[in-house]
Structure 1
Amino acid sequence: MKIGLTYDLQDWYLARGYTLEETAEFDRVDTIEGIESALTSLGHETERVGNAFELVEALAAGRRWDMVFNIAEGLHGPGREALVPALLDAYRIPYTFSDPLVLALTLDKAACKHVVRDLGLPTPDFTVVREPADLAAVRLPFPLFAKPCTEGTGKGISGASRVETPEALREICLDLLSRFRQPVLVETYLPGREFTVGLAGTGSRARSLGCMEVVFLERAEAGAYTYLNKKDFENRVEYRPARCADARAAEELALAAWRGLGCRDAGRIDIRLDADGRPSFIEVNPLAGINPIISDLVILCGMNTISYQDLIGMIMDSARERLAGSPAC
């Protein structure tokens, strides 16, 4: 099978003047090399395509593939993760991972939480601050947690994100509104253990790949998986395999959310426990990082004896299964 690879290479954007923070979600060359190597080992032929700009040029030139392995995050707007899949849908080229609707929904953390709540699944109470005047209407009890609505990789999350007073909430919201030019999600802060759950498959075939606890070390910014904690995870964070009752409850919730949201093929869901030890949905990453060494999903798989090639194989198997089962999937 001829597989096209779509991705956003960090170096491509840095060379065009974008900052490290703006490109924090984008991939390094070794990620693309790792995927390429795994797909080749599985018997596929690969072709590097690149980002949405390069995909447009390739499609206009008449290049086509049996399937596209898509990890392109996009750069601008709340629908940026949906752009490449939408282009591929227009040309009827099948691809891995979720469709444009799911990717647009899940990138918007507030919109996603509305759906999760409507599914009857627990998620922290929340509100959205779209402009400074909205702060007067926040009625949630403190402590609260504030973060940009449509960012990933911990962007906009810092030690100041957990707030105890209206003054601190106003300060962080005004800062985020100014820096990121997008709404701010304000939700009840959960003080319990933090887990991330790996998932593979689609619909009734979806399954957990395991659960990993994120433990913050002494050097970490307290209370959250912040941008700096993720960037310097070797010194600030410890990842622990989790197979206890709390982990099993987290996996059950993650699987229900994954199926309810319509996510496909593979990804991660973050779960946190409340003050009473009950799990709550925090957010989902349907385009989880898959760097062979440093990505959370890959680390989690390694803890559960799932090799990198096995993970890539599971993603391809899921995509083929759903495509064989229904032309609409």
Structure 2
Amino acid sequence: MKIGITYDLRIEYLALGYSEEETAEFDRPDTIQAIENTLKELGFKTERIGHVRSLAKQLVKGKKWDLVFNIAEGIKGFGREAQVPSLLDAYDIPYTFSDPLVLAVTLHKGMTKSIIRDLNLPTPDFAVVNTEDDIKKVNLPYPLFAKPVAEGTGKGIDSSSKINNRSELITVCGILLERYKQPVLIETFLPGREFTVGIIGTGGDAVAIGALEIVLKEIAQKDVYSYVNKEQCEELVEYRLVEDSMAEKAKEIALLAWRGLGCRDAGRVDLRVDSSGIPNFMEVNPLAGIHPEHSDLPIMCSLVGISYRELIQRIVESALKRINIHVPSLLPASRLHKVSRKRKYTESVPATQMVLQF
């Protein structure tokens, strides 16, 4: 079986003149190498495809793959994450992770929160500011929190994102509207703990593997998991694997959100606790970073006893299950049992799900 790999390489876009911030979500060469090496270890043939334009050129030439491992983020518009899956759908080529509808909707945080609210899951009250005229329509109690409606990696978030009065609201919205050329999401500021929950699987097979608490150090930008805090996380942020009752509630809400939104294979859900002690959905990342050492999901996996190889294996397993492709199991049963005994999350991640069931 041949698996193609689609991705956006950060250094390529930097060479074209894009800024560090514009390319913050794109991947490093060692991420692509890690994915490719792991797929080969699992017995697959691989081929690097690259970004959406490279994919388009190869599709026109008649190239085909049995599966595409897609981590391409895209560069323009609300549908940028949906571009590669849309092309692959048009050519009837299966791929990992979520479909175009899910990727487009979940990139727009306001639309995502509307769905979450309809699912009766907790999320902070919000308003979407499309123009400066919309600012006067915002009728939410202070403090508030402002961020671009369709960015990731903390882009557009800094210490000024926590808003305490109307003057600050006008100033911050004006800056964000001008800088990012997109609407601004305004939410009630939540004062409590912040979690990111890792999810592996699709639909009823999806499981919440663990919850990381994001703890800002004294020297970090206060109150906000900002672009600077994320870019310099080794110095500014502490990540703690937590298992208390609040973390378990966060995992429960995250899993309901993941299933309700129709996300697939693997990703993360971010939550923050409100003044009543309830974890609230903030946003979902259905195309989460997958660097083996620096990305939240692989870090979380390693902390709960799931190796990088097993993570990649389970992502592929979830994708291939949708198209009923069967290949021999790749993980020796003896090693599987050893991992299962050492791990604390056996009840959340059944050991049988660590083997490709084809």
TM-score (norm 1): 0.98
**Deviating more after overlay: 245-254 vs 52-61:** 52-61
For 1:63, give the aligned amino acid: K
Task: Describe the SS at the equivalent of 1:78.
Answer: coil
Aligned to 1:90: 90
For residues 99 and 132 of structure 2, what CA distance do their matches in structure 1 show?
34
Task: Give 1:243's aligned residue.
Answer: 243
Cα distance, 1:299 vs structure 2? 1.0
Q: Check if 1:256 corresponds to 2:222.
A: no
Q: Which residue of 2 aligns with 1:201?
A: 201
Instruction: Give the match for residue 107 of structure 1.
Output: 107
Measure the CA separation in 1 of the matches of 2:249 and 2:51: 38
Aligned partner of 2:174 in structure 1 is 174
* 1:146-205 CA distance string (max 9 Å, x none): 000000111001111001011111111100000000000000000000000000110011
Partners of 1:21 and 1:254 in 2: CA distance: 28
Is the partner of 2:212 in helix, strand or coil?
A: strand
Matched, 1:304 2:275: no
**Alignment deviations for residues 198-242 of structure 1 (CA, whole Å, 9 cap, x no partner):** 001100111011111000001111112100000000110000011
Q: Deviations over 1:104-141 (max 9, x none)?
A: 00000000000010011110000011111111111000
Could you report, residue by residue, the CA deviation over 1:245-264 in whole angstroms, capped at 9, with x for unpaired residues?
00100000000000000000
Q: Report the Cα offset of residue 99 of structure 1.
A: 0.1
1:34 Cα shift?
0.5
Do residues 138 (structure 1) and 138 (structure 2) align?
yes
Aligned with 2:128: secondary structure?
Answer: strand
CA displacement 1:69-126 (0-9 Å, x = unmatched): 0000000000000000000000000000000000000000000000010011110000
Is the aligned partner of 1:233 residue 2:243?
Answer: no
Task: Give the aligned residue type for 2:8.
Answer: D
- The residue aligned with 1:48 is 48
Kindly report the root-mean-square deviation, in angstroms, between the aligned alpha carbons of the 2 structures.
Answer: 0.8
Q: Secondary structure at the match of 1:160?
A: helix
Q: Which amino acid aligns with 1:292?
A: P
Find the residue that maps to 2:323 and give its secondary structure: helix
Distance 2:260 2:32 in 1: 30
Q: How does 1:1-329 map to 2 (within 5 A)?
A: 1-324=1-324
SS in structure 2 at match of 1:197: strand
SS at match of 1:155: coil
SS of alignment partner, residue 179 of structure 1: helix
* Greater gyration radius: 2
Question: Which residues of structure 2 form unaligned runs of 5+?
Answer: 326-358
What is the rounded CA distance, in whole Å, between the counterparts of 2:304 and 2:166 in structure 1?
Answer: 43
Instruction: Say whether the 8 Å CA contact 1:202–1:322 is kept in structure 2.
Output: no
> Residue type of the partner of 2:207?
R
TM-score norm. by structure 2 comes to: 0.90
Q: Number of aligned pairs?
A: 325
CA shift for structure 1 position 323: 2.1
3-state DSSP class of the match of 1:211? strand
Q: CA deviation at 1:292?
A: 1.1
Secondary structure at the counterpart of residue 127 of structure 2: strand
User: Residues 190 and 273 of structure 1 are in contact (CA less than 8 Å); yes or no, is this contact kept in structure 2?
Assistant: yes
User: How big is the shift at 1:284?
Assistant: 0.1
Identity, % of aligned pairs?
Answer: 57
SS of the residue corresponding to residue 324 of structure 1 reads coil
CA distance in 2, matches of 1:145, 1:297: 25
AA in 2 matched with 1:291: H
Structure 1 residue 291 displacement after superposition: 0.6
Compute the displacement of 1:321 (Å).
1.4
Q: How many Å apart are 1:266 and its aligned residue? A: 0.1
Distance 2:85 2:317 in 1: 18
- Paired amino acid for 1:307: S
SS at 2:302 equivalent: helix
Give unmatched runs, 5+ long, in structure 1.
Answer: none
Residue 322 of structure 1 deviates from its aligned partner by: 2.1
